Amino acid sequence: MKKLLGITVFLALVYLALMLSHPNAFSLKTHVLLGERIGLYGILSLAAGMLIVTGGIDLSIGSLVCLSSTVFALLAVKFEWSVPEAFLASLLVAALVGLTNGLLVTKLRLQPFMVTLCGLFIFRSLARWLAGDKTVEDLANRLEVEAAFFNGTLAGVPVYLILLAFMALLASVFLHLSVHGRYFFAIGSNERAARFAGVNVDGHKIAAYMLCSMLTACYSFLALMKTSSLEPAAIGQNDELMAIAGAVLGGCTLRGGEGTVYGMIVGTMIIQILMMMNTFWAVPTELEGTMIGVILLLGVILDELLRRRERLGRQDNA
- pLDDT of res. 134: 92
d(CA 234, CA 218): 18
- pLDDT of res. 294: 79
Residue 222: which CATH number? 1.10.3470
Q: In residues, how long is the chain?
A: 318
- pLDDT of res. 87: 97
Q: Could you tell me which of 24, 62, 65, 49 has the C-alpha nearest to residue 276?
A: 24
- pLDDT of res. 1: 64
- pLDDT of res. 303: 67
d(CA 251, CA 98): 24
- pLDDT of res. 304: 72
d(CA 78, CA 64): 20
d(CA 44, CA 177): 21
Rg value, the chain, Cα: 20
DSSP letter string, 212-266: HHHHHHHHHHHHGGG-SSB-TTTTTTTHHHHHHHHHHHTT--TTSS---HHHHHH
Full domain range(s) for residue 70: 2-317
- pLDDT of res. 309: 77
One pLDDT digit (tens) per residue for the chain, 318 residues = 667 787 888 889 889 988 988 888 889 999 999 999 999 999 999 999 999 999 999 999 999 999 999 999 999 999 999 999 999 999 999 999 999 999 999 999 999 999 999 999 999 999 999 999 999 988 988 999 999 999 999 999 999 999 999 999 999 999 999 999 999 999 999 999 999 999 999 999 999 999 999 999 999 999 999 998 999 989 998 899 889 989 988 888 888 999 999 999 999 999 999 888 888 887 787 787 787 677 767 767 776 777 677 777 767 666
φ, ψ at 155 (rounded to 5°): 55, 35
**Overall domain count for the chain:** 1
DSSP letter string, 183-201: HHHHHHH-HHHHHHTT--H
